Amino acid sequence: MSTNRQAAAASRWRIPVLFAILAVLFILEGTVRNGMFSGSWNTSLAILNMGLISAITALGVNMQWGYAGLFNVGVVGFFALGGLAPVLISTAPVEGAWQAGGPRMLIALATAVGTLALASLLWRHMPRGKLRGLALTVLLIAGFVLYRGLFDPAVTAIESNNPARHGNIGGLGLPVLLSWLAGGIFAAAAAWAVGKVALGLRSDYLAIATLGIGEIIIAVLKNEDWLARGVKNITAIPRPVPFEIQLQRNPEFMEFANSWGMAASTASGIWVKLCYMLLFLVVLLLLILLAELALKSPWGRMMRAIRDNETAAEAMGKDVTARHLQVFILGSAVIGIAGAMMITLDGLMAPVGYNPLRYTFLIWVMVIVGGSGNNWGAALGGVLIWFLWIKAEVWGPELIAFLTAPLPASSFKSGLLEGAAHMRFIAMGLVLLLVLRFAPRGLVPER
Amino acid sequence: EEIKLGTSLGFTGPLESMAPDMQKGAELAVKEISDSGKFLDGSTVSLVQGDSTCADAAAATATVERLITAEGVKGIIGGMCSGEAIASLENVAVPNGIVMISPSATSPALSTIEDNGLFFRTSPSDARQGEVMADIIMEKGIENVAVTYTNNDYGKGLAESFEAAFTEKGGTITTNSAHEDGKADYSAEVAALSAAGGDALVVAGYVDQGGSGVVRAALDTGAFDTFVFPDGMVGQALVDNFGEEIEGSFGQNPAAEGEGRDIYVKMAEEAGYDGTGAFSAESYDAAALILLGMAAAGSSDPAEYKEKIMDIANEPGEKILPGELGKALDILSEGGDIDYVGATSVEFVEPGESAGIYREVSFTGGEMEVVGYR
Amino acid sequence: MNYLSATDMRGGYGKADILHGCTLNVEKGQIAVIVGPNGAGKSTAMKAVFGMLPLREGQVTLDGQDITTLSPQERVRKGMGFVPQVNNVFPSMSVEENLEMGAFIRNDDIAATMDQVFDLFPVLKDKRRQAAGELSGGQRQQVAVGRALMTRPQLLMLDEPTAGVSPIVMDELFDRIIEIARTGISILMVEQNARQALGIADIGYVLVQGQNRYTDTGQALLADPEVRRTFLGG
Amino acid sequence: MIRVEDLHRHFGGFRAVDGASLSIETGSITGLIGPNGAGKSTLFNVVAGVLPPTSGRVFMDDEEITGLPPHELFHRGLLRTFQLAHEFASMTVRENLMMVPGQQTGETIWSTWLRRGQIEREELELRKKADEVLEFLTIRHLAHERAGNLSGGQKKLLELGRTMMVDAKVVFLDEVGAGVNRTLLGTIGDAIVRLNKERGYTFCVIEHDMDFIAKLCDPVIVMAEGKVLATGASDEIMQNEAVIEAYLGTGLKNQVKAGTG
Amino acid sequence: MDILNAVVAVLNFVVIPATAYGAQLALGALGVTLIYGILRFSNFAHGDTMAFGTAATILATWGLQALGVSLGPLPTALLALPVGIAVTALVVLATDRAVYRFYRVQKAVPIIFVMASVGVMFLMNGFTRLLIGVDEHRFADGARFIINVRDFRDMTGLSEGLAFKTTQGLSILMAIIVVWILFWFLNRTRSGKAMRAFSDNEDLALLSGIDPEKVVRMTWIIAAGLATIAGTLYGLDKAFKPFNYFQILLPIFAAAIVGGLGNPVGAIAGGFLVAFSEIAITYPWRKIAGYLFPDWQPDGLLQLLGTEYKFAVSFVILIVVLLFRPTGLFRGKSV
Ligand SMILES: Nc1ncnc2c1ncn2[C@@H]1O[C@H](COP(=O)(O)OP(=O)(O)OP(=O)(O)O)[C@@H](O)[C@H]1O
Ligand SMILES: Nc1ncnc2c1ncn2[C@@H]1O[C@H](COP(=O)(O)OP(=O)(O)OP(=O)(O)O)[C@@H](O)[C@H]1O
Ligand SMILES: CC(C)C[C@H](N)C(=O)O
Ligand SMILES: [Mg+2]
Ligand SMILES: [Mg+2]
């Protein structure tokens, strides 16, 4: 018992201390210039901003894994779907696109959804047997033919509308912050559909299903040009913050920058990044607050019970399926929000970039290193791992230069130095293994 | 003064095998200028390497951010792939007012991007290559082709511009379908292409990626034996990989007539790397242009030298080949004019990209032969 | 001389000790039974004897040899067999394979021993090809005991072997245990079915909070009203 | 209360439950005994909705409940314990109990953000209740222990404790006694009787300890090979030839010896 | 004649490539499934282990070629394979000693092992590239074809050709041999049974006198062997490029999981299921229709879905399979 209390006392300080260390890393990155750090606030803040987005993503994954034990390996898919929101909600409408095929497209999509809904009704309400199978097949085939009949011409029409520049359906021109919410909703809707189908699967089997769904979502984003130009990318997505150039042309800001003794470009860069940082921080803290409130209450207890033993939780009256679906949707929504935020930050939607290594596994690393089941841990892991991932680009080659320094010049040494870029992976691997070694349950363990 | 330039190339990621030779190209130009001692009152130049990963826009942006704000580079050679190049240009280079010259980002989207005159590229937009390729194929009397492209903005953009040009000229495209890079197996793609048929297969992909995989599977199954290779495919690797198997195939890549390229390849050989590697020569030119621009402006401030780049790239002036950068510096310091030709016969059109002179190659007897320029 | 002698064992799972100087002795061919309330540390003591728990103090000797520092699998080779209280079968292996695994360290012919086990637990013979994880609770328990018997140990340790087995099988089991003991094998077992178990015990230990509370012959313990009331359910 | 009609549950070709029909009267403490592998646990699992039946129907208060999911049965007042303890291993013992009651305000996610006060109050109640149950089961001192660290018997107690957290109508106990100290088992028996008398719970108890069955249960149902073999008062059953042959055995000698010893 | 043409076309473009690819996936999936079954975690480093093993084999092959050794029509790499396996086994054992053992002693939960394997994946990934570089290597020598298209046409007079590569034949043959040996080992030998017992219940295995460290070592050695063989066959058939070996991890995992994790038969079935669904579903039937119904001139390609969705299709199939068999075709484990 006494050991318990000691552990509790230790963990009370653990979180602030770790966050303080993290803050120091970023301050060093912003101020000190040597082989390890760049000494640029712009760099430091840029890393931090993406780190905050990663932290939110990690938070979403943590909800699914840490609270409920759902093994979602399709993170990249939900993240990408969230990224679709700024494109569809906030970019300017594309002239002629809607007239070309908008309504037809909506009807086609409605047909598809309707067919599926009808099919599931049929499945539930018809008695078992051959007839049911037959009816279902006929319905699905008819629905598919009808859908393709409506869908294909609509796609052709939209995509042939100025394909070099547009060829997509365009956005609604709404404020970009709204699209963050929409990103969450997109991802949540997909999660609902996926969850309905796949949540019956356990652990690694769920993993492969979600992995597949992630790949499918990415494939759709890449190949359905009418949606967001596919691999041809959408650029110039609106921003919620001023452009650096605008600031540089603003005399007041210039004066302000001068009073700090900073060059215009540096100051404007920092300013913009600080604006983003504030926005991201607000979102992150709000989400953590909500998550903590939920987790530290009977809801969270119920989730842990379900994670520990589904059969028993079910026998104790908890609707495991519904809860799984709920938390899967919530977590995905959070991932979607993060996805929308990243696209806003990048100002670019490039589906080719969505690769699972970066947007699924790296996020998983963040969650586990941070400490799964713990919101602060996940956030910490998110920022920290992102920092290391970026710094590994510099540290890797430094490391190998250091290691090979004593070697005499030879082709072996130059070969090693040439491969220095790959030290990025080695450095990342080492960091991961070291953290896991010294904090096997994560930096901030669940309890 | 010590001036720094940065490279932002995909040293890790799907094009990791292409990046090193590009880096070497840039290094060669930097070294040549730096060692000449004639640059901006004896300033030295150094090159800072950055990893753009080719695929991950966020990582590329972070890299360029570091190069600019932390390393303080005055110009960037990169990005490598169009998507990532656009992201880092819009998010970092333009806000910070730094010049970026990409050796290899060829997406048509970059022609119209808002860049404040900061972005240039030593490769042409793919919009042009489509036309050239269509001409070449038509002239061979082939009217029926299947197209497979790597599923990114480069591949798709090229495939679309080619399709438009080719059908315009009366040809037929039996299928125009994508392949993903880095997949384990391309049998399905080849099966589909073969079923669609066609007298030749246009492979708008990367030679050390899915492009080769598709060619391999197509050869093995006998689906096609004539291939058309655009820039992502043309390279020594193609000859090494397939040798006589692709007898009778042909292709084109941006590279201009003249000794420039041969000189560069020789220089590269002396420096111990392969100068024929895709976009390696373009990287040399990109670095040279930035530095010569600085020399012409007499300043390393991007806001000033960005204005000079079009001037030095085009006529009038004395033609400058690779290895003659010292001479160029001399001319510039005397206030003369130069017309940088470089390794790829640089000729810039508005808004600051290579006009697009292509070299037509064919594969006979296990060798790649240059048959003409257009 | 005791065949097994575990003296003054101290140890636990984390920082806190569960065993506070517990001593267990079994002579050759004897049956020793440990009883006690839930959570007294009976299973912990068994694990300690088997080397699955680091001891902070105390010593375990087998046949006069000090085995305190040996690993569990080395103790198996010294002739100890153990049936844990939970997780005591290989769930995805067939019943037959479970028994074979029991004989893993033996190099001689195991067919005869297996027949003996099947004689003892006839159900298992019918279910020999079925995965142990699909058996009923009591059948699993029988597989678990059978597995340990396959080792042909010199010292057989059983943690609640009769939990969940039906009366008829339980009687069989106790009869068989007596028989085994007669062949010179020592038995150390934990039982909640204390009255039957103490009935056949040569020596009984009552363990409370990691300490020996009473130690006596089985019959004597059964006769002690205090012991009966507090530990044996009246 | 519970009626089972011609229930079958097959595993592949094996008939674990093979046409069992039985009923559990409201207010009774019904014993369910039978040799190992008779199909008792399988029957439980089918009734409790864990396994779908191959055929046959289950009724509760004349309403068909065949195939309803366990959580729904819980809300109808049907509770069960598991033969192999199913504790929530990483949660504390007290949390294991506190999570049981349904309809907690704090279990809907919106209320965790909006109705903190209400939740606080409910939690206090729950904590008190949980502590009472722990007290009763003699494991109050373990309230803060991880449930996964409990001893085998303690886990069984926790299983039982969970059913005491809510007002149930019918409780299925699958071998609560196995591995539980006999003195404590006596107390548990008393508690079952008390819950039955005072709160009107109906019980169905699987147990191999015949003393326990005899003291508590009336009637007793005997299963063998997936079918019901006999039903009756416990002393009747103990004399039943078929039951003795299939289940009890004649060799009660140890027990007798112990009883007189 | 036309029917024969149709059959040959399907064989050439669907059956043979899918079978060879399926065999390669199956071998990879066997390694994954073995680790999962016995050490109970999904080993993300398996793809890079394959890459490393192949790199080692290639280096050995070059060595042999430099010595002038050759296997005639068979690739020299087969001779180099034992060297590759040995080196990989050593590396993998060292990794276990340095990384995984620690967590085993701690009895860490599987996800920690998974993450540790991600760390190992990064390391191996880097080391392989340092060892052999990032470029593509072809190391298949010997005869390329058992039958090639031209010969087949000349032989049969059909207009469709049929190609069967040596490496495809090798892949299939090796898969059969390796699988057979593995089965025999796991189900018939003492060590094999000890491995299964260990996978079922580690503590009880200990109580039965099984040395857990020995089991673990054995598992890693076999996994290293499987990885090297799978990687080398794949590299021989396609080409070796370190980057691709991370990509192939995806279909390999899909195969292992859909077959039922921990179940070797499942891994094999899964490998073929994945390969065939990728290749067969997106196959356009126009040519075949042309042979079978010469009068019919369809406009489209008669393709169910474009090849850009081939992964999507194969995953949809996997998901459907899992919906009906939640732990895979052959009832796998789940931790
Ligand atoms: N999943 C399964 N697959 C195959 N057979 C099974 C499965 N579950 C149970 N059985 C078989 O069904 C029969 C009945 O098992 P059940 O668990 O219902 O017995 P029980 O009456 O509860 O016995 P016990 O008193 O030993 O707990 C047993 O013979 C068992 O082998
Ligand atoms: N893995 C563990 N980690 C921490 N504490 C444990 C662990 N296992 C058991 N304990 C604690 O040790 C004490 C003794 O447990 P043990 O299993 O030895 O009891 P037991 O006498 O066998 O009880 P039972 O009759 O219920 O099986 C218990 O209070 C239990 O909570
Ligand atoms: C490296 C190059 C082949 C890149 C390609 N041209 C692109 O724009 O993406
Ligand atoms: Mg115990
Ligand atoms: Mg049972």
- A443 part of a folded domain: no
Greater pLDDT, C171 or A35: C171
Residues of chain E found within 8 Å of residue A432, distances taken between Cβ atoms = 115-116, 118-119, 122
- Residue-level pLDDT at B214: 93
Residues in chain C: 234
- A78 part of a folded domain: yes
Assess D100–A contact: CB distance below 8 Å, yes or no.
yes
- Residue-level pLDDT at D258: 37
Residues 321-360 of A with CB under 8 A from B: 342, 345-348, 350, 352-353, 355, 358
- Residue-level pLDDT at D261: 28
Greater pLDDT, B25 or A427: B25
Residue E171 has pLDDT above 60, yes or no: yes
D177 lines ligand 2 (CB under 6 A): no
CB pair distance less than 8 Å for C137 and D153: no
Residue A3 has pLDDT above 80, yes or no: no
Q: With H, G, I as helix, E, B as strand and everything else as coil, classify residue C213.
A: strand
Specify the residue with its C-alpha closest to ligand 1, atom 31.
C135
Residues 6 or more apart whose CB falls under 8 angstroms from that of A99 comprise none
C16 lines ligand 2 (CB under 6 A): no
Which residue does chain C place closest to E37, by CA atoms? Answer: C92
> Residue D229 is part of a domain; what is its CATH number?
3.40.50.300
Mean pLDDT across chain D, nearest whole number? 88
Q: Mean pLDDT, to the nearest integer, of B270-275?
A: 88
- Alpha-carbon distance B182 to B142, whole Å? 30
Q: For residue D241, what is the enclosing H or E element?
A: helix D241-243
Distance from CA of A63 to the nearest CA of D (A): 13
Residue D255 has pLDDT above 70, yes or no: no
Per-residue pLDDT tens digits for B73-103: 999 998 898 888 988 998 889 988 999 999 9
- Residue A125 belongs to domain spanning: 94-169
- Alpha-carbon distance A380 to A362, whole Å? 14
Residues 111-170 of C with CB under 8 A from A: none
Distance from CA of A315 to the nearest CA of C (A): 19
HEC secondary structure over chain A = CHHHHHHHHHHHHHHHHHHHHHHHHHHHHHHCECCCCECCHHHHHHHHHHHHHHHHHHHHHHHHHHHCCCCCCCHHHHHHHHHHHHHHHHCCECCCHHHHHHHHHHHHHHHHHHHHHHHHHHHHHCCCCHHHHHHHHHHHHHHHHHHHHHHHHHHHHHHCCCCCCCCCCECCCCCHHHHHHHHHHHHHHHHHHHHHHHCCCCHHHHHHHHHHHHHHHHHHHHHCHHHHCHHHCEECCCCCCCCHHHHHHCHHHHHHHHHCCCCHHHHHHHHHHHHHHHHHHHHHHHHHHHHHHHHCCHHHHHHHHHHHCHHHHHHCCCCHHHHHHHHHHHHHHHHHHHHHHHHHHHCEECHHHCCHHHHHHHHHHHHHHHCCCCHHHHHHHHHHHHHHHHHHHHHHHHHHHHHHCCCCCCHHHHHHHHHHHHHHHHHHHHHHHHHHHHCCCCCCCCC
Q: Do A105 and A176 have their domain in common?
A: no
- Residue-level pLDDT at A11: 65
Read off the amino acid at residue C216: D
CB pair distance less than 8 Å for A309 and D104: no
Per-residue pLDDT tens digits for A210-241: 988 898 999 999 988 888 888 888 888 898 99
Q: Do A99 and A80 have their domain in common?
A: no
**C-alpha distance across the termini of chain E, in Å:** 54
Cβ contacts from A onto C, under 8 A: 4
Among the three residues D132, D149, D166, which one is the final residue of a domain in this structure? D149
Q: Do A162 and A267 have their domain in common?
A: no
Q: Do D227 and D197 have their domain in common?
A: yes
Q: Do A387 and A399 have their domain in common?
A: yes
Its pTM stands at: 0.89
Residue D257 has pLDDT above 50, yes or no: no
Read off the amino acid at residue A39: G
Ligand 3 atom closest to residue B83's alpha carbon, by position in its atom list: 9
- Residue-level pLDDT at A6: 43
Q: Do A321 and A214 have their domain in common?
A: yes
CA distances from E230 to E1, E31, E120, E167, E235 (A): 38, 9, 19, 12, 8
Assess A224–B contact: CB distance below 8 Å, yes or no.
no
What stretches of E67-201 show up as alpha helix (H) in DSSP?
Answer: 77-95, 101-106, 110-132, 149-156, 166-188, 190-200
- Alpha-carbon distance B343 to B276, whole Å? 10
Lowest mean pLDDT among D60-64, D251-255, E27-31, E324-328: D251-255
Residue A99 has pLDDT above 90, yes or no: no
Among the three residues A169, A189, A214, which one is the final residue of a domain in this structure? A169
Distance B105 CA to ligand 3 centre (A): 5
Residues of chain B found within 8 Å of residue A362, distances taken between Cβ atoms = none
Residues 6 or more apart whose CB falls under 8 angstroms from that of A432 comprise A365, A369, E115, E116, E118, E119, E122
Among the three residues A169, A195, A213, which one is the final residue of a domain in this structure? A169
Per-residue pLDDT tens digits for C32-69: 999 999 889 999 999 999 998 888 999 999 998 999 99
- Residue-level pLDDT at B366: 86
Greater pLDDT, A281 or E146: A281
Q: Which of D15, D156, D183 to mutate to test the interface with C (most CBs of C within 10 A)?
A: D183
Per-residue pLDDT tens digits for D67-122: 899 999 999 999 999 888 899 998 999 999 999 998 888 899 999 899 899 999 99
Q: Which of B47, B48, B56, B274 to mutate to test the interface with A (most CBs of A within 10 A)?
A: B56
Per-residue pLDDT tens digits for B138-164: 999 999 999 999 988 888 889 988 999
Quote the DSSP letter at residue C89.
S
- Alpha-carbon distance D206 to D231, whole Å? 14
Helix, strand, coil percent values for chain C (each to nearest 5): 40, 25, 35
- Residue-level pLDDT at C1: 65
Specify the residue with its C-alpha closest to ligand 1, atom 2.
C134
Q: How many other CB atoms sit within 10 Å of the CB of residue B170?
A: 9
Mean pLDDT across chain E, nearest whole number? 86
Q: Do D213 and D248 have their domain in common?
A: yes
Q: Do D173 and D206 have their domain in common?
A: yes
Ligand of minimum distance to the alpha carbon of C53? 2
- Residue D252 belongs to domain spanning: 2-87+154-258
Ranked by mean pLDDT, the top range of A69-73, A275-279, E282-286 is A275-279
Read off the amino acid at residue B259: E
Q: Do D111 and D233 have their domain in common?
A: no
Ligand 2 atom closest to residue C207's alpha carbon, by position in its atom list: 21
Q: Which of E310, E319, E323 to mutate to test the interface with A (most CBs of A within 10 A)?
A: E319
Per-residue pLDDT tens digits for E37-85: 888 888 989 999 999 999 999 999 999 988 888 887 888 888 899 999 9
Fold annotation for C2-232? Rossmann fold (3.40.50)
Mean pLDDT across chain A, nearest whole number? 87
CB pair distance less than 8 Å for D91 and A308: yes
Q: Do A88 and A99 have their domain in common?
A: no
Greater pLDDT, A11 or B181: B181
Residue E218 has pLDDT above 80, yes or no: yes
Q: Mean pLDDT, to the nearest integer, of A374-381?
A: 92
Q: Do A153 and A206 have their domain in common?
A: no
Q: Do D180 and D228 have their domain in common?
A: yes
pLDDT band at residue E333 using 50, 70 and 90 as cut-offs: low
- Residue-level pLDDT at B314: 87
Comparing CA positions, the residue from B201, B129, B196, B130 lying closest to residue B167 is B130
Q: Do A101 and A20 have their domain in common?
A: no
* Sign of the alpha-carbon torsion through D192, D193, D196, D198: negative
Q: Which residues line ligand 3 (CB under 6 A)?
A: B 15, 18, 80-82, 104-107, 152, 154, 206, 232, 279
pLDDT band at residue A52 using 50, 70 and 90 as cut-offs: very high
| Subunits in contact with chain A (3 or more CB pairs closer than 8 Å) | B, C, D, E
Which of C20, C35, C44, C46 to mutate to test ligand 2, by most ligand atoms within 8 A of the CB atom?
C44
D45 lines ligand 1 (CB under 6 A): no
Greater pLDDT, B236 or D242: D242
What would the two tokens of residue D57 be? 């129907």
Q: Which of A71, A75, A140, A204 to mutate to test the interface with E (most CBs of E within 10 A)?
A: A204
Q: Mean pLDDT, to the nearest integer, of D234-239?
A: 87
- Residue-level pLDDT at D259: 33
Specify the residue with its C-alpha closest to ligand 2, atom 2.
D149
Q: Mean pLDDT, to the nearest integer, of B14-22?
A: 81
Burial letters C34-56, b for 16+ CB under 10 A, else e = bbbbbbbbbbbbbbbbbbbbebe
Q: Do A268 and A318 have their domain in common?
A: yes
Q: What percent of chain E has pLDDT over 90?
A: 30
Per-residue pLDDT tens digits for C67-76: 999 988 889 8
Q: Mean pLDDT, to the nearest integer, of B291-313?
A: 91
Q: With H, G, I as helix, E, B as strand and everything else as coil, classify residue B26.
A: helix
Residue D27 has pLDDT above 70, yes or no: yes
Q: What percent of chain B has pLDDT over 70?
A: 99
pLDDT band at residue E292 using 50, 70 and 90 as cut-offs: confident
Q: With H, G, I as helix, E, B as strand and everything else as coil, classify residue B88.
A: helix
Q: Mean pLDDT, to the nearest integer, of A15-21?
A: 91
- Residue-level pLDDT at B73: 92
Comparing CA positions, the residue from C191, C183, C103 lying closest to residue C146 is C103
Q: Mean pLDDT, to the nearest integer, of A381-391?
A: 90
Residues of chain A found within 8 Å of residue C16, distances taken between Cβ atoms = 1, 3
Which of C95, C126, C136 to mutate to test ligand 1, by most ligand atoms within 8 A of the CB atom?
C136
Among the three residues A169, A198, A226, which one is the final residue of a domain in this structure? A169
pLDDT band at residue B120 using 50, 70 and 90 as cut-offs: very high
Distance B126 CA to ligand 3 centre (A): 10
- Alpha-carbon distance A189 to A329, whole Å? 8
- Residue-level pLDDT at A1: 36
Cβ contacts from A onto E, under 8 A: 141
Domains held by chain A: number: 2
Q: How buried is A128 (Cβ within 10 angstroms: 0-12 exposed, 13-18 middle, 19+ buried)?
A: exposed
CB pair distance less than 8 Å for E123 and A433: yes
HEC secondary structure over E246-269 = HHCHHHHHHHHHHHCCCCHHHHHH
CB pair distance less than 8 Å for E196 and C84: no
Distance D231 CA to ligand 1 centre (A): 21
Assess A34–C contact: CB distance below 8 Å, yes or no.
no
Q: Do A402 and A297 have their domain in common?
A: yes
Read off the amino acid at residue C84: P
Q: Do D123 and D57 have their domain in common?
A: no
CA distances from E282 to A152, A222, B174, B310, E13 (A): 18, 18, 16, 49, 11
CB pair distance less than 8 Å for D249 and C167: yes
pLDDT band at residue E209 using 50, 70 and 90 as cut-offs: confident
Residues 6 or more apart whose CB falls under 8 angstroms from that of E308 comprise A219, A222, A223, B151, B177, B178, B179, B180
- Alpha-carbon distance A133 to B80, whole Å? 53
What would the two tokens of residue D231 be? 């039903």
- Alpha-carbon distance A231 to B156, whole Å? 7
Mean pLDDT across chain C, nearest whole number? 89
- Alpha-carbon distance C46 to C53, whole Å? 9
Read off the amino acid at residue C143: V
Specify the residue with its C-alpha closest to ligand 1, atom 18.
D39
Q: Do A201 and A234 have their domain in common?
A: yes
Q: Do A310 and A418 have their domain in common?
A: yes
